[in-house]
Amino acid sequence: MMRHALILCLLALFCSALQAAPPPEPQAAAAEDVARAYLLALKAQGFAANANFMDPEELARFKAILMPVFNAQARAGSRALISATFGYGATLAEVRKATPVDFMRHLARVMAARMPKQSMDFTDLKVLGAIPEKDRAYVLVRTLAAPDEPSRERVIVVTLHPYEGTWKLALSADMEEAAQSLGDPTRQPHLEPWHPCDDQARAPVPPTLPEAQRDGGQQVRP
Protein backbone atom coordinates (compact mmCIF):
# COMPACT_ATOMS: atom_id res chain seq x y z
CA MET A 1 0.00 0.00 0.00
CA MET A 2 2.77 2.40 0.92
CA ARG A 3 4.51 1.65 -2.36
CA HIS A 4 1.36 2.45 -4.33
CA ALA A 5 0.88 5.64 -2.30
CA LEU A 6 4.47 6.67 -3.04
CA ILE A 7 3.98 6.07 -6.77
CA LEU A 8 0.79 8.14 -6.74
CA CYS A 9 2.58 10.98 -4.93
CA LEU A 10 5.41 10.94 -7.46
CA LEU A 11 2.93 11.01 -10.34
CA ALA A 12 1.11 13.93 -8.75
CA LEU A 13 4.37 15.84 -8.33
CA PHE A 14 5.36 15.08 -11.93
CA CYS A 15 2.01 16.36 -13.27
CA SER A 16 2.28 19.51 -11.16
CA ALA A 17 5.76 20.17 -12.53
CA LEU A 18 4.49 19.81 -16.09
CA GLN A 19 1.69 22.27 -15.47
CA ALA A 20 4.01 24.79 -13.84
CA ALA A 21 6.69 24.54 -16.50
CA PRO A 22 6.87 27.56 -18.84
CA PRO A 23 6.12 26.98 -22.54
CA PRO A 24 9.20 25.95 -24.54
CA GLU A 25 11.12 28.66 -26.31
CA PRO A 26 10.12 28.78 -30.00
CA GLN A 27 12.76 27.92 -32.57
CA ALA A 28 14.17 30.31 -35.15
CA ALA A 29 12.82 28.09 -37.93
CA ALA A 30 9.32 28.61 -36.56
CA ALA A 31 9.88 32.37 -36.72
CA GLU A 32 10.60 32.05 -40.43
CA ASP A 33 7.34 30.16 -40.94
CA VAL A 34 5.37 32.80 -39.04
CA ALA A 35 6.98 35.64 -41.01
CA ARG A 36 6.17 33.91 -44.31
CA ALA A 37 2.56 33.28 -43.29
CA TYR A 38 2.23 36.88 -42.08
CA LEU A 39 3.43 38.44 -45.33
CA LEU A 40 1.20 36.16 -47.41
CA ALA A 41 -1.77 37.15 -45.23
CA LEU A 42 -0.79 40.81 -45.53
CA LYS A 43 -0.82 40.46 -49.31
CA ALA A 44 -4.27 38.83 -49.28
CA GLN A 45 -5.99 40.83 -46.52
CA GLY A 46 -4.12 44.11 -46.24
CA PHE A 47 -3.49 45.86 -42.92
CA ALA A 48 -6.26 43.88 -41.20
CA ALA A 49 -3.98 40.81 -41.23
CA ASN A 50 -1.82 42.44 -38.53
CA ALA A 51 -4.47 41.77 -35.89
CA ASN A 52 -4.24 38.00 -36.32
CA PHE A 53 -0.45 37.86 -36.02
CA MET A 54 0.34 40.52 -33.42
CA ASP A 55 1.51 39.97 -29.86
CA PRO A 56 -1.48 40.65 -27.52
CA GLU A 57 0.60 43.13 -25.50
CA GLU A 58 1.43 45.00 -28.69
CA LEU A 59 -2.24 45.06 -29.70
CA ALA A 60 -3.05 46.60 -26.32
CA ARG A 61 -0.28 49.16 -26.82
CA PHE A 62 -1.67 50.05 -30.26
CA LYS A 63 -5.08 50.74 -28.72
CA ALA A 64 -3.47 52.76 -25.91
CA ILE A 65 -1.74 54.98 -28.51
CA LEU A 66 -5.00 55.73 -30.30
CA MET A 67 -7.59 56.00 -27.54
CA PRO A 68 -6.44 59.55 -26.64
CA VAL A 69 -7.18 60.54 -30.26
CA PHE A 70 -10.75 59.20 -30.02
CA ASN A 71 -11.21 60.88 -26.63
CA ALA A 72 -9.88 64.21 -27.91
CA GLN A 73 -12.22 64.16 -30.91
CA ALA A 74 -15.13 63.33 -28.61
CA ARG A 75 -14.34 66.35 -26.42
CA ALA A 76 -14.21 68.51 -29.56
CA GLY A 77 -17.63 67.20 -30.66
CA SER A 78 -16.24 65.44 -33.76
CA ARG A 79 -17.32 62.02 -35.01
CA ALA A 80 -14.90 61.89 -37.96
CA LEU A 81 -12.60 59.10 -36.77
CA ILE A 82 -15.32 57.04 -35.08
CA SER A 83 -17.45 57.13 -38.24
CA ALA A 84 -14.46 56.21 -40.40
CA THR A 85 -13.48 53.22 -38.27
CA PHE A 86 -16.37 51.85 -36.22
CA GLY A 87 -19.30 53.03 -38.32
CA TYR A 88 -21.59 56.00 -38.71
CA GLY A 89 -23.75 55.15 -35.69
CA ALA A 90 -20.99 53.91 -33.35
CA THR A 91 -20.42 55.45 -29.93
CA LEU A 92 -17.29 56.25 -27.99
CA ALA A 93 -18.34 53.65 -25.42
CA GLU A 94 -18.24 50.96 -28.13
CA VAL A 95 -14.73 52.02 -29.10
CA ARG A 96 -13.56 51.87 -25.49
CA LYS A 97 -15.08 48.41 -24.97
CA ALA A 98 -13.61 46.91 -28.16
CA THR A 99 -11.01 44.22 -27.59
CA PRO A 100 -7.52 45.17 -28.85
CA VAL A 101 -7.90 42.67 -31.73
CA ASP A 102 -11.22 44.12 -32.89
CA PHE A 103 -9.91 47.64 -32.36
CA MET A 104 -7.04 47.08 -34.79
CA ARG A 105 -9.35 45.45 -37.34
CA HIS A 106 -11.63 48.48 -37.26
CA LEU A 107 -8.63 50.77 -37.77
CA ALA A 108 -7.40 48.79 -40.79
CA ARG A 109 -8.79 51.07 -43.50
CA VAL A 110 -7.46 54.38 -42.19
CA MET A 111 -4.14 52.81 -41.15
CA ALA A 112 -3.65 51.26 -44.59
CA ALA A 113 -3.95 54.71 -46.16
CA ARG A 114 -1.13 55.89 -43.91
CA MET A 115 1.11 52.90 -44.52
CA PRO A 116 1.42 52.45 -48.29
CA LYS A 117 4.72 50.62 -47.79
CA GLN A 118 2.81 47.79 -46.11
CA SER A 119 1.08 47.05 -49.38
CA MET A 120 2.31 43.59 -50.43
CA ASP A 121 1.97 43.22 -54.19
CA PHE A 122 4.77 40.71 -54.68
CA THR A 123 4.90 37.77 -57.06
CA ASP A 124 7.54 35.80 -55.18
CA LEU A 125 8.76 35.57 -51.60
CA LYS A 126 11.91 34.05 -50.10
CA VAL A 127 12.87 33.91 -46.43
CA LEU A 128 16.59 34.70 -46.17
CA GLY A 129 16.96 33.73 -42.52
CA ALA A 130 16.22 34.63 -38.91
CA ILE A 131 18.35 36.40 -36.33
CA PRO A 132 17.17 35.28 -32.87
CA GLU A 133 17.78 37.37 -29.77
CA LYS A 134 16.78 36.92 -26.14
CA ASP A 135 13.32 38.49 -26.41
CA ARG A 136 12.73 38.67 -30.16
CA ALA A 137 13.70 37.45 -33.61
CA TYR A 138 14.36 39.39 -36.79
CA VAL A 139 13.34 37.57 -39.97
CA LEU A 140 14.73 38.79 -43.27
CA VAL A 141 12.46 38.25 -46.26
CA ARG A 142 13.06 39.14 -49.90
CA THR A 143 10.05 39.81 -52.10
CA LEU A 144 9.94 40.15 -55.85
CA ALA A 145 7.36 42.35 -57.54
CA ALA A 146 6.07 42.21 -61.11
CA PRO A 147 8.66 42.97 -63.83
CA ASP A 148 7.05 46.32 -64.66
CA GLU A 149 7.39 47.59 -61.06
CA PRO A 150 10.08 50.30 -60.62
CA SER A 151 11.42 48.75 -57.39
CA ARG A 152 11.10 45.09 -58.14
CA GLU A 153 13.18 43.61 -55.32
CA ARG A 154 12.57 44.46 -51.70
CA VAL A 155 14.04 43.17 -48.42
CA ILE A 156 11.70 43.27 -45.42
CA VAL A 157 12.58 42.78 -41.76
CA VAL A 158 9.77 41.19 -39.72
CA THR A 159 10.23 41.57 -35.96
CA LEU A 160 8.64 38.86 -33.83
CA HIS A 161 8.27 38.23 -30.10
CA PRO A 162 8.17 34.76 -28.48
CA TYR A 163 4.68 34.03 -27.23
CA GLU A 164 3.40 30.78 -25.67
CA GLY A 165 5.68 28.52 -27.66
CA THR A 166 5.31 30.37 -30.95
CA TRP A 167 6.06 33.83 -32.38
CA LYS A 168 3.91 36.96 -32.56
CA LEU A 169 4.35 40.17 -34.49
CA ALA A 170 5.83 43.24 -32.82
CA LEU A 171 4.35 46.70 -33.31
CA SER A 172 6.72 48.37 -35.75
CA ALA A 173 7.94 51.95 -35.60
CA ASP A 174 6.08 52.62 -38.86
CA MET A 175 2.81 51.44 -37.30
CA GLU A 176 3.37 53.64 -34.26
CA GLU A 177 4.12 56.64 -36.47
CA ALA A 178 1.03 56.02 -38.61
CA ALA A 179 -1.16 55.64 -35.50
CA GLN A 180 0.17 58.86 -33.99
CA SER A 181 -0.47 60.69 -37.28
CA LEU A 182 -4.20 60.12 -36.77
CA GLY A 183 -4.05 62.58 -33.90
CA ASP A 184 -2.06 65.13 -35.90
CA PRO A 185 -3.63 65.75 -39.34
CA THR A 186 -0.80 68.15 -40.28
CA ARG A 187 1.53 65.14 -40.69
CA GLN A 188 -0.43 63.80 -43.67
CA PRO A 189 -2.98 66.49 -44.60
CA HIS A 190 -3.71 64.99 -48.02
CA LEU A 191 -5.39 62.03 -46.29
CA GLU A 192 -8.00 64.16 -44.50
CA PRO A 193 -10.94 64.09 -44.08
CA TRP A 194 -11.92 60.55 -43.19
CA HIS A 195 -15.00 59.10 -44.83
CA PRO A 196 -17.69 57.07 -43.03
CA CYS A 197 -16.99 53.36 -42.78
CA ASP A 198 -18.88 51.80 -45.70
CA ASP A 199 -19.44 48.34 -44.25
CA GLN A 200 -21.05 49.61 -41.04
CA ALA A 201 -22.44 52.99 -42.03
CA ARG A 202 -26.12 53.47 -41.31
CA ALA A 203 -26.53 56.31 -43.76
CA PRO A 204 -23.26 57.36 -45.42
CA VAL A 205 -23.27 60.97 -46.57
CA PRO A 206 -21.24 62.56 -49.40
CA PRO A 207 -17.59 62.93 -48.34
CA THR A 208 -17.40 66.37 -49.97
CA LEU A 209 -19.50 67.95 -47.21
CA PRO A 210 -17.78 69.79 -44.35
CA GLU A 211 -17.14 67.64 -41.29
CA ALA A 212 -19.95 69.19 -39.22
CA GLN A 213 -22.46 68.40 -41.98
CA ARG A 214 -21.03 64.93 -42.60
CA ASP A 215 -21.57 64.15 -38.93
CA GLY A 216 -25.12 65.47 -39.12
CA GLY A 217 -24.32 67.87 -36.27
CA GLN A 218 -24.28 64.94 -33.87
CA GLN A 219 -22.08 64.97 -30.80
CA VAL A 220 -20.10 61.87 -29.85
CA ARG A 221 -22.16 59.89 -27.41
CA PRO A 222 -20.27 58.58 -24.33
Domain definitions of the chain by residue range = 28-214
Cα separation of the two ends of the chain = 67
Fold of 28-214: Nuclear Transport Factor 2; Chain: A, (3.10.450)
At residue 118, the pLDDT reads: 62
3-state DSSP assignment of residue 14: helix
145-154, 161-170, 187-196 — most confident range: 161-170
Least confident of 12-26, 156-170, 180-194: 12-26
Dist CA 192 CA 200 (whole Å): 20
Considering the chain, what percentage of its residues have pLDDT values greater than 70? 66
pLDDT in tens, 130-160: 999 889 999 999 998 877 766 678 899 999 9
3-state DSSP assignment of residue 150: coil
58: nearest Cα among 179, 172, 158: 172
Chain centre to alpha carbon of residue 108: 8
At residue 145, the pLDDT reads: 82
> Which residues pair with residue 126 across a beta bridge?
142
Grade residue 184 by pLDDT with cuts at 50, 70 and 90. Answer: low
**Residue range 196-219: mean pLDDT, rounded:** 36
- Residues 189, 103, 192: CA angle, nearest 5 degrees: 10
Dist CA 117 CA 113 (whole Å): 10
Dist CA 104 CA 169 (whole Å): 13
Q: Please name the amino acid found at residue 75.
A: R
- pTM, entire model: 0.70
**Residue range 122-126: mean pLDDT, rounded:** 89
**Residue range 101-109: mean pLDDT, rounded:** 90
**Burial profile 103-141: b = 16 or more Cβ within 10 angstroms, e = fewer:** bbbbbbbbbbebbeebebebeebebeebebeeeebbbbb
At residue 6, the pLDDT reads: 37
Grade residue 115 by pLDDT with cuts at 50, 70 and 90. Answer: confident
**pLDDT over 50 (residue 81):** yes
